[in-house]
């Protein structure tokens, strides 16, 4: 297998190649680092590359006996820069932190137990506030399919790294769509798991009820393999999901049978009109699911307005993360504006929104009285050109963000699992995407149907022209 094929082989295939001895972990890590060195100057996907530590870890892993190896043994992965990696600064996308983390976050610890090699930390907008990966500190991250366009955000560095074949998988976070949005922009599969599926330790939560961590990958089986390595919580976690009825890897390999799937182009944010190409991709995917034997019907959901639930927790989440930095005077101008508005948000409003989460989720989940899965567009508009945040104050930036979160943020409030699934390419050459939303705790059904779609329309074979 040549280097190009190796880089795009995917997480599961790379793990298999290491397990069978066709490539060593050290050889694979060296190839990954060489590709990062070549492509990152243009794409700006990595905030920092941990080359020496990764090479040392890969060499150590090659000496581990076969019987003691984990499912991700020897495979390089990347970590979004809001998640602690021992020895690296957790910047949250800015300059206000200076001291390296003294321990891995729980999710990173689990990745190491599974045998993964941590090669670096990926770029993000400060505190993950925006669906565009642009920051005053580290500049703009670029979409591998068109470097004049955003890769989305806030896990845009993770998305660009995976889409360009720098790594087979990268850990992201999703507080309003930040796994699904960049997956949609970059042609990836990105599943936001059920709230409480993945530990947020050492922190009690991530943006209160809104946030969770998870991988961005090129294929469904890769995502499932990654999730089986990281899912589960510890005592410090505020939220704990129900155990799935099968492993995620089993789900990705199991036909779903006939399901009732409702589709709708109606955004949860009022007043937005989705791009015609996105509506066409939705209809095309609905037709494909019908051909696969599912009961597919158009529905007209009446989404409750999530503004009163999402907005207080957005401000509360940014406020809480800002407390973790050493030099708040070095925060971006826009972030300081966000924090000024956060001070105006009554604490009782934040606590009210958290306390009423279950009631709100029950109202949203009436959709699933008649269907097993919901199919929507992932984003409303095409990926914007680089510079989406130029000249914008925090309120202007929030308005520019609305088309990106119009279909995603509702499910952060409700807590349901939801995934961005590739759906071809638009007239501009950029990927199209649809969103599959499941009942609470039911990632299994999403994975089964997404894997079925992937077999029918093998999107992972498509690659950006940059390499």
Output the pLDDT for position 244: 98
Cut 0.85: pTM above it = yes
Output the pLDDT for position 459: 82
Beta-carbon contacts of 375 under 8 Å, excluding residues fewer than 6 positions away, are 261, 262, 263, 264, 282, 285, 286, 289, 296, 434, 435, 436, 437
The model's confidence at residue 467, banded by pLDDT at 50, 70 and 90, is low
- Contact (CB, 8 A) for 187 and 462: yes
% pLDDT > 70, the chain: 100
- Please give the Cα distance from 275 to 434 (Å, whole number): 12
What amino acid positions are annotated as catalytic residues? Answer: 80, 154, 178
Complete DSSP assignment for 143-178: BTTBTTB---SSSHHHHHHHHTTS-SEEEEEESSST
201-251 pLDDT, tens per residue?
999 999 999 999 999 999 999 999 999 999 999 999 999 999 999 999 999
Is residue 460's pLDDT more than 80? Answer: no
Say if strands 189-192 and 418-425 run parallel, antiparallel, or are unpaired: antiparallel
The model's confidence at residue 23, banded by pLDDT at 50, 70 and 90, is very high
Kindly state the average pLDDT of the residues 367-385. Answer: 98
Output the pLDDT for position 93: 98
Kindly state the average pLDDT of the residues 416-432. Answer: 97
The full set of domains in the chain, from first to last, is 8-461 (3.90.1300.10)
Is residue 342's pLDDT more than 70? Answer: yes
- Please give the Cα distance from 61 to 57 (Å, whole number): 6
Output the pLDDT for position 206: 97
Tokens found for residue 299: 């529905």
The 3-state secondary structure of 350-398, one letter per residue: HHHHHHCHHHHHHHHHHHHHCCCEEEEECCCCCCCECCCCCCCCHHHHH
270-304 pLDDT, tens per residue?
899 999 999 999 999 999 999 999 999 999 999 99
């Amino acid at each position: 297998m040549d280097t190009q094929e190796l880089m795009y082989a995917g997480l599961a295939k790379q793990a298999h190649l290491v397990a069978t001895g066709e490539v060593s972990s050290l050889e694979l890590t060296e190839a990954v680092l060489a590709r990062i060195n070549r492509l990152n100057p243009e794409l700006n996907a990595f905030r920092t590359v941990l080359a020496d530590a990764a090479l040392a870890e890969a060499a150590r892993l090659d000496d581990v006996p076969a019987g003691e190896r984990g499912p991700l043994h020897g495979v390089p992965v990347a970590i979004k820069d809001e998640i602690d990696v021992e020895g690296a600064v957790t910047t949250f996308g800015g300059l206000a932190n200076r001291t390296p983390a003294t321990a891995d976050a729980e999710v990173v610890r689990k990745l190491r137990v599974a045998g993964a090699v941590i090669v670096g930390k990926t770029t993000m907008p400060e505190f993950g506030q925006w669906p565009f990966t642009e920051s005053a500190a580290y500049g703009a991250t670029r979409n591998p399919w068109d470097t004049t366009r955003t890769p989305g955000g806030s896990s845009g560095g993770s998305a660009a790294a995976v889409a360009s074949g720098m790594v087979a998988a990268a850990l992201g976070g999703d507080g309003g769509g930040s796994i699904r949005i960049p997956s949609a922009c970059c042609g990836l599969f990105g599943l936001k798991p059920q709230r409480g599926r993945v530990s947020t330790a050492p922190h009690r939560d991530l943006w209160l009820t809104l946030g969770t961590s998870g991988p961005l990958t090129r294929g469904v089986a890769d995502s499932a393999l990654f999730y089986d390595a990281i899912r589960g919580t510890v005592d410090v976690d505020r939220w704990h999901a129900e155990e799935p009825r099968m492993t995620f890897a089993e789900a990705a390999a199991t036909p779903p049978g006939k399901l009732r799937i409702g589709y709708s182009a109606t955004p949860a944010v009022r007043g937005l009109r989705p791009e015609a190409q996105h509506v066409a991709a939705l209809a095309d995917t609905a037709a494909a699911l019908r051909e696969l034997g599912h009961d597919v019907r158009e529905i007209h959901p009446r989404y409750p307005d999530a503004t009163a639930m999402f907005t207080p927790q957005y401000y509360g989440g940014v406020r809480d993360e800002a407390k973790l930095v050493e030099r708040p005077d070095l925060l971006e101008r826009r972030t300081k504006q966000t924090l000024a508005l956060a001070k105006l948000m009554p604490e009782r409003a934040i606590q009210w929104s958290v306390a009423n989460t279950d009631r709100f989720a029950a109202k949203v989940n009436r959709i699933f009285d008649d269907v097993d899965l919901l199919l929507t567009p992932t984003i409303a508009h095409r990926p914007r050109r680089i510079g989406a945040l130029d000249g914008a104050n925090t309120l202007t930036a929030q308005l520019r963000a609305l088309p990106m979160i119009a279909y995603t943020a509702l499910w952060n409030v409700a807590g349901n699992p939801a995934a961005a699934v590739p759906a071809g390419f638009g007239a501009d050459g950029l990927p199209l995407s649809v969103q599959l939303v499941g009942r609470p705790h039911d990632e299994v059904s999403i994975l089964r149907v997404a894997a079925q779609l992937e077999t029918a329309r093998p999107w992972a074979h498509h690659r950006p022209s940059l390499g």
